[in-house]
Chains A and B, each alone.
Chain A
Amino acid sequence: MTTSMLGEPIARREDPRLLTGQGRYLDDIGHRALAAAFVRSPHAHARIVDVDVTEALDVDGLVAIYTHDDLEGRVGEPLPLLIPHEALTHGRTPYALAKDEVNHVGEAVVMVVATDRYVAEDACERIRVRYDFLPPVVGIEAARDAALLVHDDVPGNVSAHLVQENGDARSAIDAAPNVLELDLAIERSASTPLEGRGVHARWDADDHSLRVYTSTQASTSVRAALAAKLGLPPDRVEVIAPDVGGGFGVKIMHPWPEEVLVPWAAIRLGREVKWTEDRREHFVSATHERGQLQHVRVGFDDEGRLLGLDVTVWHDNGAYTPYGIIVPIITTTQLLGPYKPGAYRAEFFSLYTNTVTVTPYRGAGRPQGCFAMERTMDAIAEHLGVDRTVVRERNFIQPDEMPFDHGLTFQDGRPLIYDSGDYPATLEKIKKLVGWDDFAAFRSEARAAGRRVGIGIGCYVEGTGVGPYEGGFVKVETDGTVVVATGLTTQGQGHQTVFAQVVAAELGVPIERVAVTTGDTRRFGYAVGTFASRAAVMSGNAIAIAARKVRDKALRVAGEALEADARDLEIVDGTVRVVGSPPGAPGTSIPLATVAVLANPLRYAFDREAERATQFGGPVDVSKPPVAEGDSPGLEETGYYSPPRSTFANGMHAAIVETDPDTAEISILRYCVVHDCGTLINPRIVEGQIHGGVAQGVGGALYERMVYDDAGQLLNASFMDFLMPYSTEVPVVETDHQQTPSPLNPLGIKGAGEAGVIPVSAVIASAVSDAEGFAVTRMPISPSDLHELRLRHSSEGGPAR
């Protein structure tokens, strides 16, 4: 039975394996591999004077110690700058092992290879690195002041400066009847998957080939980078993402220093080498995100309609810019949300600091942009004394204005044009779900009982499914199983289920017969990666295209066998049959497995079924070649999907919070989500993505921050002090869906991976502000922060509700 149609909330096919301990994550591979460990800089900014390894040399089990001096050829050159941009005038990337200078605590200086990780750490401990300290630049203000520089040759610590403008925003604001200015801040957080990074490499000297397993979101691109770095032909390098224990953006960054060094050492040593990142390393040597200061100047009419919006963002890019300036570009474009901004001007400065490098973390600049816009909307509402949802509604892009061109350039280098969306409908749904109009009564009741409550809302639009492309491979095997491959990787999104659903639906086969492989360059070589909520849109459509091609061919081959017109055939439950023919009627159907056999003319039979495809196996038209011109043997096809531009999902969240008047504890009483990501392939999986995003959003709003001291030491580099929420910190998430299909792709889908996290800080800030009677302008907010804010506002004589 086909139980696989698109839109069904079927249980995941990867689960039995993962639930019984049969998953295969990076550290599950290579039990006997040599282990790598790294001596990392304990200083935020210093010159390396000397590395003395003498004491480490007699550690039993030591295999090798490498410093930058040992790195030959391109391995010794700076790592690539992945996404160049003309505004990134001063891009800097690190070396795989620091050369001369370190720019953040945690930067790798020495690589140690030993028989196991315990021994490798013993050796690391005995290596003495002498440093000359340099004064560190910590925090966005210090970077902006530029009294000290991170890189001597980067004036003002500015890696990039970009202005985008549509209309004359400053004049529009000056001419507006109402003008407000806001100063806002979002602190640093990080993706923090439960599995850190890790790399395992095996060099086959006889075959002259390299196999690398890495916990990545971009295996094909890792392959390209490694081949280039190591001077190997790309077809001698295989890169496989095994089961990956969460990514959330941090694993789209590549190649990591360790990702280059482990294969390099494996080749050099002729041994299997593995590096499994530990949690402390992850905090100081993987990447962070979110830190920004923002200044908003907005002009609006007396109804609250935007006339001009001028936003300046100071973005903390950390010590290096290997991933370019994608994050601030996204902030300044996606900030616009579902609104028409009037004239718009966005300017950002991307700034170096002596802290861990910044690359995308789920949301990738959108949470900050959403925060800026939604705080602005609330400020306008407050200024005019109008309901916050009313101000928003007055500024919405209307459904009949789609597609809507913002006149800006998006992160994919293409025009920022919204494809579809019904924002007024989404707002109606969220108001109903949270009970927006009944809240006043609830507040009165609560107040009478001495309780302090507030309600908040946040709206976002998310560009998803960015290009350039993804591909899909679909093949019907001669036993009727369907193997599917796509190059992008999986970190828990259920691709083995949703892509199988796509194929089952397109091809008409039972889902049980479909097996999906992702992120393995042996199976599919062309891909971009899993980020920006693009996997379902990109690979989903590519696989659908490939499946349709397979279907067409299957019908053609079956038509020849059944002597029927292909247009009269359909595939149901893995059998091609004449439409409308009674089940089992002779000569009206043929199993897809048999079609696969027939599609591949054989000289040699390998089983009874295959005999039919051999040269004497049955009647053939001997006037034609066995494989027609332009055709290929087998029932397999490759398809690619390359969209003209991104497709834009949207959603709105609302929350009711309670703040304790005495302890300043902040409790989320209700959290509601309405989400529109177009057509749903598997609602259960989409729902799960939303839940997880909201939880990360709650972490970012109330708990998580990377705390650096003035010396550039990360003070909370552990799960004890970096406060990821447990179950008890995450509210029940209530959801409702809106489905506005994308006109841009065959399946009508939009991305869903990041949406949940985007508006949460804005929503919680809105709700806490509502409860407290003053505007929260900096997130995250802890009880201690709220307490201090109350003191400040009461001393300023502000209202206390």
Chain B
Amino acid sequence: MSEQLYEVTLLVNGVHRSATVPARRLLSDFLRHDLELTGTHVGCEHGVCGACTVLVGGRPIRSCLQFAVTVDGEEVTTVEGCTRPDGELGPVQQAFRDCHGLQCGFCTPGFVTTITAYLHENPEPTADEAREAIAGNLCRCTGYQNIVASVLRAAQLRTGSTEAAAEAAP
């Protein structure tokens, strides 16, 4: 017996992307294997590690705990979409590089998406707030020291780039 298929269309990183999948296809697998956007990683498939975190409608969610069909029609941002429009590293990505905020890089996409959304809500976090902001994501390599630093650095870069953007505006 073959499964019923659904056409699922998402606005992924600003681009409409579709694939036809069974209802049980997890959003994480849909992004990774149907759309071949493999930046989103899968570390536990039970919602604890946070590696699969993507933004749906701007809010970070676990893509391993969501069926693609449920979010049909929604706007999704993955780590691939956290770059600057010119493809250069976005502020959170740049901050991770500046602060050595990653080692093996497997958990990193979930941190980048989470922090991107967080700084939108709280552009100038304290160190304690930064630590709290990343507390739902597991990293086994860094001991989090440099990820906390990356959050703070990203806040600086964002503010800087906002100012720079404001200056650049006519």
Contact B143 A18 (CB under 8 A): no
Asked if B41 lies at the interface with its beta carbon under 8 angstroms from chain A, I say yes
Contact A727 B104 (CB under 8 A): no
* Chain A residues numbered 1-28 whose CB sits less than 8 Å from any CB in chain B: 11-12, 14-16, 18-25, 27-28
Contact B131 A685 (CB under 8 A): no
Asked if A443 lies at the interface with its beta carbon under 8 angstroms from chain B, I say no
- Other-chain contact of A726, B93, B109, B137 (Cβ < 8 Å): B137
Interface code A43-66, partner B: CB below 8 Å = 1, 0 otherwise?
A: 000000000000000001000000
Report how far A103 CA is from B123 CA in the complex, Å: 54
Q: Which 4 A-B pairs have the closest CB atoms?
A: A21-B39, A245-B106, A492-B104, A695-B143
Asked if A624 lies at the interface with its beta carbon under 8 angstroms from chain B, I say no
Contact A118 B32 (CB under 8 A): no
Contact A492 B46 (CB under 8 A): no
Q: Quick check: which of A75-83, A188-196, A431-439, A625-633 contacts chain B, the rest being far away?
A: A188-196
Cross-chain pairs A/B with CB under 8 angstroms, 21 sampled: A11-B100, A15-B102, A19-B112, A20-B83, A20-B93, A21-B37, A21-B109, A193-B106, A194-B43, A194-B104, A194-B107, A245-B105, A246-B103, A246-B140, A279-B44, A492-B103, A691-B145, A719-B48, A720-B46, A727-B132, A730-B145
Min C-beta distance of B124 to chain A, whole Å: 19
Q: Given known contacts A194-B43, A719-B49, is B104 in contact with A733 (CB within 8 Å)?
A: no
Contact A193 B104 (CB under 8 A): yes
Residue from the set A19, A22, A27 with the largest chain B CB neighbour count within 10 Å: A19
- Chain A residues near B145 (CB, 8 Å)? 691, 730, 732-733
Asked if A494 lies at the interface with its beta carbon under 8 angstroms from chain B, I say yes
Interface code B139-152, partner A: CB below 8 Å = 1, 0 otherwise?
A: 11111111110000
Q: Given known contacts A16-B97, A726-B138, A732-B145, is B39 in contact with A22 (CB within 8 Å)?
A: yes
Report how far A15 CA is from B93 CA in the complex, Å: 9
Asked if B108 lies at the interface with its beta carbon under 8 angstroms from chain A, I say yes
Q: Which chain B residue shows the least CB distance to A14?
A: B105
Contact A18 B46 (CB under 8 A): no
Report how far A687 CA is from B106 CA in the complex, Å: 19
Report how far A278 CA is from B44 CA in the complex, Å: 7
Asked if B58 lies at the interface with its beta carbon under 8 angstroms from chain A, I say no
Asked if A692 lies at the interface with its beta carbon under 8 angstroms from chain B, I say yes
Asked if A672 lies at the interface with its beta carbon under 8 angstroms from chain B, I say no
Q: Given known contacts A15-B96, A691-B143, is B80 in contact with A21 (CB within 8 Å)?
A: yes
Residue from the set A15, A195, A691 with the largest chain B CB neighbour count within 10 Å: A15
- Chain A residues near B42 (CB, 8 Å)? 27
Contact A688 B138 (CB under 8 A): no
- Chain A residues near B143 (CB, 8 Å)? 688, 690-696, 730, 733, 756
Main SS at interface, chain A: loop
* Chain B residues numbered 16-64 whose CB sits less than 8 Å from any CB in chain A: 22, 24-25, 32-33, 36-46, 48-49, 51
- Other-chain contact of A684, B25, B100, B140 (Cβ < 8 Å): B100
Asked if B89 lies at the interface with its beta carbon under 8 angstroms from chain A, I say yes
Report how far A695 CA is from B80 CA in the complex, Å: 28
- Other-chain contact of B104, A60, A244, A756 (Cβ < 8 Å): A244
Q: Which chain A residue shows the least CB distance to B34?
A: A31
Asked if A533 lies at the interface with its beta carbon under 8 angstroms from chain B, I say no
Min C-beta distance of B92 to chain A, whole Å: 8
Asked if A243 lies at the interface with its beta carbon under 8 angstroms from chain B, I say yes
- Chain A residues near B102 (CB, 8 Å)? 12, 15, 18-19, 492
- Chain A residues near B134 (CB, 8 Å)? 726-727
Asked if A368 lies at the interface with its beta carbon under 8 angstroms from chain B, I say no
Residue from the set A16, A248, A491, A688 with the largest chain B CB neighbour count within 10 Å: A688
Report how far A643 CA is from B2 CA in the complex, Å: 60
- Chain A residues near B37 (CB, 8 Å)? 21
- Other-chain contact of B89, A14, A16, A246, A694 (Cβ < 8 Å): A16
- Chain B residues near A691 (CB, 8 Å)? 142-146
Asked if B166 lies at the interface with its beta carbon under 8 angstroms from chain A, I say no
Contact A728 B140 (CB under 8 A): no
Min C-beta distance of A443 to chain B, whole Å: 25
Residue from the set B42, B139, B145 with the largest chain A CB neighbour count within 10 Å: B145
Residue from the set A31, A194, A691, A733 with the largest chain B CB neighbour count within 10 Å: A194
Q: Given known contacts A21-B37, A726-B135, is B141 in contact with A692 (CB within 8 Å)?
A: yes
Min C-beta distance of A214 to chain B, whole Å: 15
By size class, the interface of chain B is 35 or more
Asked if A562 lies at the interface with its beta carbon under 8 angstroms from chain B, I say no
Asked if A321 lies at the interface with its beta carbon under 8 angstroms from chain B, I say no
- Chain B residues near A24 (CB, 8 Å)? 38
Asked if A724 lies at the interface with its beta carbon under 8 angstroms from chain B, I say yes
Min C-beta distance of B93 to chain A, whole Å: 4
Min C-beta distance of B104 to chain A, whole Å: 3
- Other-chain contact of A19, B36, B38, B51, B108 (Cβ < 8 Å): B108
- Other-chain contact of B46, A31, A193, A244, A718 (Cβ < 8 Å): A718
Asked if A285 lies at the interface with its beta carbon under 8 angstroms from chain B, I say no
- Chain B residues near A16 (CB, 8 Å)? 89, 93, 97
Contact A31 B33 (CB under 8 A): yes
Min C-beta distance of B88 to chain A, whole Å: 9
Min C-beta distance of B4 to chain A, whole Å: 12
Q: Given known contacts A14-B105, A194-B106, A694-B143, is B97 in contact with A727 (CB within 8 Å)?
A: no
- Chain B residues near A684 (CB, 8 Å)? 100
Asked if A493 lies at the interface with its beta carbon under 8 angstroms from chain B, I say yes
Q: Which chain A residue shows the least CB distance to B105?
A: A18
- Other-chain contact of A719, B24, B32, B44, B78 (Cβ < 8 Å): B44
- Chain B residues near A18 (CB, 8 Å)? 102, 105, 108
Report how far A726 CA is from B143 CA in the complex, Å: 9
Interface code A488-508, partner B: CB below 8 Å = 1, 0 otherwise?
A: 000111100000000000000
* Chain A residues numbered 171-219 whose CB sits less than 8 Å from any CB in chain B: 192-195
Q: Which chain A residue shows the least CB distance to B110?
A: A194
* Chain A residues numbered 388-435 whose CB sits less than 8 Å from any CB in chain B: none
Given A16-B97, A20-B39, 20 new contacts (CB under 8 A): A14-B105, A19-B93, A19-B96, A20-B93, A21-B109, A23-B105, A23-B106, A27-B32, A118-B25, A194-B104, A688-B141, A692-B141, A719-B44, A719-B49, A726-B137, A726-B138, A726-B144, A727-B134, A730-B143, A730-B144
Report how far A248 CA is from B34 CA in the complex, Å: 31
Report how far A31 CA is from B44 CA in the complex, Å: 19
Report how far A428 CA is from B44 CA in the complex, Å: 43
Report how far A431 CA is from B49 CA in the complex, Å: 36
- Chain B residues near A685 (CB, 8 Å)? 100
Min C-beta distance of B153 to chain A, whole Å: 12
- Chain B residues near A192 (CB, 8 Å)? 140
- Chain B residues near A690 (CB, 8 Å)? 143
- Chain A residues near B106 (CB, 8 Å)? 23, 25, 193-195, 243, 245-246
Q: Which chain A residue shows the least CB distance to B87?
A: A20
* Chain A residues numbered 217-274 whose CB sits less than 8 Å from any CB in chain B: 243-248
Residue from the set B82, B109, B142, B144 with the largest chain A CB neighbour count within 10 Å: B144
Asked if B7 lies at the interface with its beta carbon under 8 angstroms from chain A, I say no
